[in-house]
Amino acid sequence: MSLKMAFKLSCWSCLILCMAAYYCGQKVFDVTQYGAMADSKTDNIQWAFSNAWKAACEFNGPTSLAIPQGIFFVGPVIFRGPCYNNISNAKIANLTFLDSKGFHMSIQRSSNVTIRNLNISTTENSHNTDGIHISGSNNIDLATLTIGTGDDCISISQGNTNVSISNVACGPGHSISIGSLRKYMNEKNVAGVNVRNCTVSSTSNGIRIKTWHGAPPSEASDITFEGIITENVSNTIIIDQKYSRGITAVMRGTSNKVVAVNFMCSQLVPCENVTLHDINLEFVSSSGSSSITSSLIQNNSSLVQNITSSCLNVKGMALGIQKPATCL
Ligand X SMILES: *[C@@H]1O[C@H](CO)[C@@H](O)[C@H](O)[C@H]1NC(C)=O
How far apart CA 292 and CA 171 sit, in angstroms, is 25
Q: What's the number of CA atoms in the CB half-sphere (13 Å) around residue 54?
A: 9
CB 179 within 8 A of CB 210: yes
Distance of CA 31 to the CA centre of its chain: 27
Can you spell out the DSSP letters for 200-257? Answer: EESBSEEEEEEE-SSSPP-EEEEEEEEEEEEEEESEEEEEES-EEEEEEEEEEEEESS
Q: Between residues 185 and 296, which has the closer beta carbon with respect to ligand X?
A: 296
| 3-state class (DSSP) for residue 83 | coil
Question: Going residue by residue from 52 to 91, which x/- string records binding to ligand X, judged by CB under 6 A?
Answer: --------------------------------x-x-xxxx
Among 32, 96, 266, 310, binds ligand X (CB under 6 A): 96
Under the binding rule (CB under 6 A), the answer on residue 125 touching ligand X is no
Q: ω before 172 within 30° of 0 (cis)?
A: yes
The residue range among 37-45, 52-60, 110-118, 261-269 that interacts with ligand X, by the rule CB under 6 A, is: 110-118
Q: How many chain residues touch ligand X (CB under 6 A)?
A: 51
Under the binding rule (CB under 6 A), the answer on residue 304 touching ligand X is yes
Catalytically active residues are: 151, 174
Can you spell out the DSSP letters for 133-173? Answer: EEES-EEEEEEEEEEE-SS-SEEE-TT-EEEEEEEEEE-SB
Q: Between residues 214 and 268, which has the closer beta carbon with respect to ligand X?
A: 268
Among 12, 24, 32, 128, binds ligand X (CB under 6 A): 24
Question: Going residue by residue from 247 to 286, which x/- string records binding to ligand X, judged by CB under 6 A?
Answer: -------------------------xx-----------xx
How far apart CA 174 and CA 195 sit, in angstroms, is 16
Query: Which positions touch ligand X (CB under 6 A)?
Result: 2, 4, 6, 24, 84, 86, 88-91, 93-96, 109, 111-112, 114, 117, 119, 137-139, 141, 146, 162, 164, 166-167, 196-197, 202, 204, 227, 232, 245-246, 272-273, 285-288, 295-296, 299-300, 302-304, 306
